């Protein structure tokens, strides 16, 4: 029989079997708007909170008379469409759950769109008795309402990506007995230590500005839409931010209309205000089965994904799924490429869709044995070899920390330097900052995370350290630690560290490609404490240690390892004036050039500590 006929027969058998179980259902891939209209109802309600505020909630329920599990998303971005029309999410991303007859609930969080109250970004959580209502108490109150006002089986799951992933995760802290599972996809973690707004205390300029000006505009009353957006620039982002010069000028441009931007200016260091907005310490009270999902190349919430998992991983029933994805890309089709980099021909998005459904079926419908048979505790895609690997834990058992050291003449070795005096110096000028991408558009593209790093080759303020050509594959899986000795002629400096896979010089599009495995930035003033910054003394070497988010990558034989170091990364990251002054108060003439020295000598060894998996 021809292959196409086999496919048609398989689909027919699947259709017949599914019809026997759900007489009004179709295979999930064939669920469309008409099917949803015939099998679901929609109602819009206002759920009362304990303080009298009401939250807009859209409930999509199967029309049959059975009891079903609830899958719930809490969002600051709106529950479109408002009114009688059905959400297209039901026949698109949520089609598998419709096929299983889940009750689907979408809710505007406090102070957003049609919900009452005032909105606060990453609102502080206070669990003590008598504390003001917050996003955790709102979750408990809503869960209690849903259990008594829908035809449910007593089980609620929470899911969502990005800010929705954050709300899903913190909602699970409320400990309502009906909340039985949560899938936190790329959840926000800590906006000072990582993710969209800061990395290690450095403002991620282009992302923070674009997000906060687009999302954080004030409203006068509940409305289906945000306040009209004011386009602050139509030119390329590099010129725009250079023209405005510094954070203080941007603050003046925004006035007081973007409240969170104004608040950041008042809190330049990791003080109590920021610490109250970090929820990860509260995860110790989280007892709900959790699936953490994220992408290796998530430019927005890479920190939050890994940080959430590492806080939860020692609890029972915690699962991890990480693919070679940009932010939220696992929800879109095959999800097997980013920029010029292809990660194989398989449908990688299918891995997420199956795990997402199987996880909730296990904990909301009682199919736990099926979950254990089909999914490992940690499912991680390794770039470089383009394969999924399954582990019982992450990092994998047997992962070893091995150091690779910077040496003179731009060399990279696994041996400790023995030279008495050895260092590399470069001149860093914040008035001519190193770009983060070869492209110079009006906004940041997601694929800069995998962009060929050769565009920095002509820069004298980027230094390179190459290994010998590898004779055997080297597989890394876990967090990377940078341990760098540095001095400056100024009183502060930023340190950008990149780990790069250099492909062989062969024919083809990937010839000599400098593939960025991981990179991040650290501000020297925070080397001892993010809360209490300390100036650098000109010319005095200091040790700076910081973690880069986890990696999953295999350097193949014939490749080289490259470590790049620089001190500007613009306009992805704000410019450091290279003086120990408040970056929110400095002016144009405060940005001073400095000579940065990286040491690689006896007693001051600079290295990366790598998580090596022996195969």
The predicted pLDDT at position 8 comes to 38
The predicted pLDDT at position 157 comes to 98
Domain covering 198-275 assigned CATH 1.20.1250.20 in the classification: no
Please give the DSSP secondary-structure letter assigned to residue 578.
S
How far out from the chain centre does Cα 555 lie?
24
pTM: 0.94
Closest CA to 175 of 229, 226, 139, 212: 139
Q: What is the mean pLDDT of each run of 10 residues along the chain (615 residues)?
A: 38 34 50 96 98 98 97 98 97 96 98 97 93 97 98 98 98 97 98 97 95 87 88 88 90 80 95 96 95 98 98 96 98 94 95 96 89 90 98 96 98 98 98 97 94 97 98 98 98 98 92 98 98 98 98 98 98 98 95 98 98 92
Q: Which helix (H) or strand (E) holds 413?
A: strand 411-413
- Please check whether residue 189 is in contact with residue 79, taking contact to mean a CB–CB distance below 8 angstroms: no
The predicted pLDDT at position 234 comes to 80
Q: What is the CATH number of domain 400-613?
A: 2.60.120.260
The span from the CA of 207 to the CA of 193, in Å, is 15
Q: Is 597 helix (H, G, I), strand (E, B) or coil?
A: strand
The beta strand positions in 505-559, using DSSP E, are 514-523, 542-555
DSSP string, 234-283: -S-HHHHHHHH-SHHHHHHHHTTSSHHHHHHHH--SS-HHHHTT--GGGG
Closest CA to 410 of 567, 279, 600: 600
- Please check whether residue 237 is in contact with residue 440, taking contact to mean a CB–CB distance below 8 angstroms: yes
Q: What are the two backbone dihedrals, phi and then psi, of residue 32, each rounded to the nearest 5 degrees?
A: -130, -175
The predicted pLDDT at position 14 comes to 35
Sign for the pseudo-dihedral over CA of 294, 332, 162, 115:
negative
Domain boundaries, given as residue ranges, for the chain:
22-189+279-391, 198-275, 400-613
Q: Which helix (H) or strand (E) holds 37?
A: helix 33-39
- The CATH number corresponding to 22-189+279-391 among 3.10.20.740, 3.40.50.150, 3.40.50.1820, 1.10.3720.10 equals 3.40.50.1820
The beta strand positions in 324-369, using DSSP E, are 337-338, 341-342
The span from the CA of 439 to the CA of 456, in Å, is 12
Burial of 266: CB neighbours in 10 Å, binned 0-12, 13-18, 19+: exposed
């Amino acid at each position: 029989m021809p292959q196409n006929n086999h496919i048609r027969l398989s689909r027919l058998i699947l259709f017949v079997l599914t019809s026997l179980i759900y007489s009004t259902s179709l295979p999930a891939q064939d669920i469309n708007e008409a099917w949803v209209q015939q099998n679901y109802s929609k109602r819009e309600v206002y759920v009362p909170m304990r303080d009298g505020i009401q939250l807009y909630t859209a409930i999509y329920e199967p029309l049959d008379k059975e009891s079903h599990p609830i899958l719930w998303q809490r969002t600051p971005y709106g529950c479109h469409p408002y009114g009688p029309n059905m959400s297209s999410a039901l026949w698109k991303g949520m089609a598998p759950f419709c096929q299983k007859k889940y009750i689907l609930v979408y809710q505007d969080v406090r102070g957003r769109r049609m919900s009452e109250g005032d909105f606060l970004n990453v609102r502080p959580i206070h669990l003590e008795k008598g504390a003001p209502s917050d996003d955790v108490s709102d979750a408990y109150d809503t869960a209690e309402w849903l259990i008594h006002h829908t035809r449910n089986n007593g089980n609620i799951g929470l899911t969502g990506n990005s800010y929705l992933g954050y709300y899903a995760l913190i909602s699970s802290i409320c400990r309502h007995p009906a909340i039985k599972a949560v899938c936190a996809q790329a959840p926000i973690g800590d906006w000072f230590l990582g993710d969209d707004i800061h990395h290690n205390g450095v403002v991620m300029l282009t992302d923070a500005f674009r997000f906060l000006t687009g999302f954080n505009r004030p409203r006068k009353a509940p409305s289906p839409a945000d306040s009209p957006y004011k386009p602050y620039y139509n030119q390329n982002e590099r010129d725009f931010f250079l023209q405005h010069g510094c954070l203080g000028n941007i603050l003046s441009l925004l006035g007081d209309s973007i409240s969170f931007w104004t608040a950041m200016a008042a809190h330049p260091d990791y003080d109590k205000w920021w610490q109250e907005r970090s929820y990860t310490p509260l995860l110790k009270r989280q007892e709900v089965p959790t699936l953490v999902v994220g992408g290796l190349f998530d430019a927005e919430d890479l920190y939050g994904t890994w940080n959430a998992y590492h806080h939860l991983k020692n609890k029972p029933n915690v699962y991890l799924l990480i693919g070679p994805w940009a932010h939220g890309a696992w929800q879109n089709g095959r999800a097997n490429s980013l920029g010029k980099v292809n990660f194989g021909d398989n449908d990688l998005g299918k891995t997420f869709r199956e795990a997402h459904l199987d996880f909730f079926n296990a904990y909301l419908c009682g199919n736990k044995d099926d979950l254990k048979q089909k999914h490992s505790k940690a499912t991680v895609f390794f770039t470089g070899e383009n394969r999924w690997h399954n582990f019982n834990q992450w990092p994998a058992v047997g992962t070893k920390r091995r150091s690779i050291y910077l040496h003179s003449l731009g060399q990279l070795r696994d041996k400790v330097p023995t030279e008495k005096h050895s260092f590399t110096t470069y001149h860093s000028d914040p008035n001519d900052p190193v770009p983060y991408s070869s492209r110079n558009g009006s906004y940041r593209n997601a694929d800069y995370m995998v962009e060929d790093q050769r565009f920095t080759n002509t820069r004298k303020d980027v230094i390179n350290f190459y290994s010998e050509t590898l004779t055997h594959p080297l597989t890394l899986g876990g967090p990377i630690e940078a341990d760098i000795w540095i001095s400056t002629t100024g009183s502060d400096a930023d340190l950008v560290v990149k780990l790069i896979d250099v492909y062989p010089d062969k024919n083809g599009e990937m010839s000599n490609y400098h593939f960025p495995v991981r990179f991040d930035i650290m501000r020297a003033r925070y080397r001892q404490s993010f809360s209490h910054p300390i100036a650098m003394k000109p010319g005095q070497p200091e040790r700076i240690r910081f973690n880069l988010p986890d990696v999953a990558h295999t350097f193949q034989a014939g490749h080289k390892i490259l470590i790049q170091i620089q001190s500007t990364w613009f306009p992805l990251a704000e410019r450091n004036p290279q003086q120990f002054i408040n970056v929110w108060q400095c002016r144009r003439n405060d940005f001073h050039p400095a000579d940065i020295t990286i040491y690689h000598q006896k007693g001051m060894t600079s290295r990366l500590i790598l998580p090596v998996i022996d195969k």
